[in-house]
Structure 1
Amino acid sequence: MSDALLNALAETLADLVTTIDTCDDDVLDPDTAVKWLENTGYLLGRLSPRDRRALSALIRRAAAREPDGAWRDDLLRIPESFGLDDDEHELYCDSVEHLERRFVETVRDVDPATPVPSCPGWTFADLVKHHGATHRWMEHLVRTRAAERVWSRDVPLELPDDPRAYPQWLARSADATLRTLRAVDPDTPMWSHGADQRVRFFPRRLLFEAVVHLADAELALGVEPRIAAGTAADGIEEFLENLPYYSWIAEPVAALARGSVRLTARDTGAAWTISFGDGGYSWTKSAEEAAAGVEATAGDLLLLVYGRHRADDARFGISGDRAALDAWLAATAL
């Protein structure tokens, strides 16, 4: 099923539900309206957590295309009213599990000395070691409910001597992390290195660690990365939300001259407008006037944000002030 069809179906469902929910009593009998909405809720409740989350994202994107006002507000309430976001923590854990399997399968038989061009100076051994170490660190943080920063260098890695054994070590590390995450209430307060100071921060962060580093491996092997549009859009927002907490990025961003950049996803219609200058930084999930604009698929935009694609690649449509875009990308380079 194409993204265009999925978006059309989700928008149609959202419009119908909102119309029923807001219809005057003299137009539609309230008891009939309740019956229709209850039946809709029952059917949506039978979807898997992954599908409920995907539907929630589609409905939110449909709402974002509407102008500010009561109709948009009613559309944005649909995911909550039908419980579409109730399993978000488990969904992220499921997504991490799926991505880690793909990652391990991708790197398993590759010579550990193979270079990874998108991470200059790294080999596949370095890439897998880094990703596994991230799992070990985050598992330790969540298991101990860390109240303050614990440096990753202080967490035992139990790294095999032979780099060819790194993929299986990564698989074991990811399994341990997921067991820990699934055993803890996601709303448990704890230290994190991002905006959300709760356990639920970590599976989302690990998902995009996996997405980007799987892309590193695939690009090194000459494979075009496949990133679901909804996942990519969430990854862009996760990056923008946490940017102020990453000092190595926040400080260069604070030094930027005044400017703005708009990212537009061709495949979903989602857009993000980023403003910076005078030591400040902000972003909105909307298409606003900006000094520079970039259009591409959501997946390609995510890899641009993470520096895995270059802006001069033909896949990107760029308008406006190229210098503002280049300054932003240079300041946020990882």
Structure 2
Amino acid sequence: MGMLSYQRRLTTAVEETSLLVSALDDVDLSVPVPTCPGWTLNQLLRHLGFAHRWIEQVVRERHPTADKSLSRAHSVDGFAGESAAELGPWLMEGVELFEKAMLGGIPDDVAVFVPGEPSHRFWSRRMAHETWVHRYDAFHALGLPFEIDRDVAWDAMYEWMLILLPIIHARRPALGSLLGQGHRLRFFATDYTSASSRWTVDLSGDVPMGRRDVEMRCSVYVRAPIADLVLMLYGRRRPAKSEVTGDKQLLREFIEAARF
């Protein structure tokens, strides 16, 4: 168990896109996606494909930052009436272009999103987990069973706790209302036995902190398989699906405030 390799993350992005595309035959893309309110499946697919192509472009063209003005990932409201026959090949082309650009090598001063975080590591991880979480969204909308490799989910938990949480704090003012009151939330991955399966979100200070393998008194404790924990933190699955003890209202408020 541990962080995925660079190649494994790129492979995950491609494989997860392929699994998504393979489920689209004869599917009505106008169906709503409950975990992405306001979007249809058509729009979700466009969002994911544009995300892959955005990072491919900024890497290939050697932009110093991940220039958001080049991204169309959140400009998908106008897409409707497309078919899987159109979007499937487009999705695969985009993720394969992304993989090719990433394998070409990325200097640390290219496509920077988080200062101090090497771009190759950040974007390989970000697109891997962006892809499988959105595959979950699509499968959930279609009523299909979903599974993800637990080591992939563990890598996503690492990203959420140690890299995404500060970004979420900067973007979600509501999260600030939970800080400075001594609250901590503890998450246990039940499908791992090692200490590294335990994570804590510390809200007691001025900024939220994700911590691994630290024993602290907490307000709420959550136990679930690692993939369920990740999907809960992403606001995809309700806490009721897991074993929760302690302040359940705090957990609900935190997940709502920290949705990414």
TM bracket, shorter-chain basis: 0.7 to 0.9
1:123 is displaced (CA, Å) by 0.9
Q: Partners in 2 of 1:108 and 1:172 — Cα distance? A: 17
Residue 265 of structure 1 aligns with which residue?
Answer: 189
Matches within 5 A, 1:1-334: 57=2, 88-153=5-70, 163-164=82-83, 165-185=86-106, 188-194=108-114, 196-240=117-161, 241-246=163-168, 247-249=170-172, 251-257=173-179, 258=181, 259-269=183-193, 270-286=197-213, 288=215, 289-313=217-241, 316-334=242-260
User: Counterparts of 1:155 and 1:217 in 2: how far apart (Å)?
Assistant: 19
- Structure 1 pair 152–166 and aligned structure 2 pair: CA distance change class (3 A): farther
Residues in 2 aligned to 1:160 and 1:332: alpha-carbon distance in whole angstroms: 28
Secondary structure of 1:177's partner? helix
Conserved 8 A contact 1:273-1:283: yes
1:280 counterpart SS class: coil
- Which consecutive unaligned segments of at least 5 residues does structure 1 have? 1-55, 61-84
The structural deviation recorded for 1:287 is: 5.5
Is the contact between residue 112 and residue 124 of structure 1 (CA under 8 Å) also seen in structure 2? yes
Gaps of 5+ in 2: none
| Seq. identity, % | 26
Q: Partners of 2:69 and 2:90 in 1: how far apart? A: 17
1:301 Cα deviation (Å)?
0.6
SS in 2 for 1:139: helix
* CA-CA distance at 1:214 after TM superposition: 0.4
Distance 2:147 2:164 in 1: 24
Larger helix share, 1 or 2? 1
| AA partner of residue 34 (structure 2) | P
206-215 or 101-110: bigger deviation = 101-110
Aligned-pair CA distance for 1:238: 0.5
CA RMSD of aligned residues (A): 2.5
CA distance in 1, matches of 2:69, 2:20: 21
- 2:66–2:111 contact (8 Å) kept in structure 1: yes
Q: Aligned with 1:312: secondary structure?
A: helix
Q: Distance in 2 between matches of 1:275 and 1:176?
A: 39
* Change beyond 3 A, Cα 1:160–1:248: closer
- SS of equivalent residue, structure 1 residue 121: coil
Taking structure 1 as reference, are residues 162 and 322 closer, same or farther at Cα in structure 2, changes over 3 Å only? closer
Alpha-carbon shift at residue 326 of structure 1 (Å): 1.8
**Offset at 1:155?**
6.2
3-state secondary structure, aligned to 1:263: strand
Q: Does the CA-based 8 Å contact 1:254-1:278 persist in structure 2?
A: no
Q: Distance in 1 between matches of 2:245 and 2:184?
A: 12
Higher relative contact order (CA 8 A, sep 6+): 2
Say which one has the larger Rg.
1
Cα displacement (A) at 1:305: 0.7
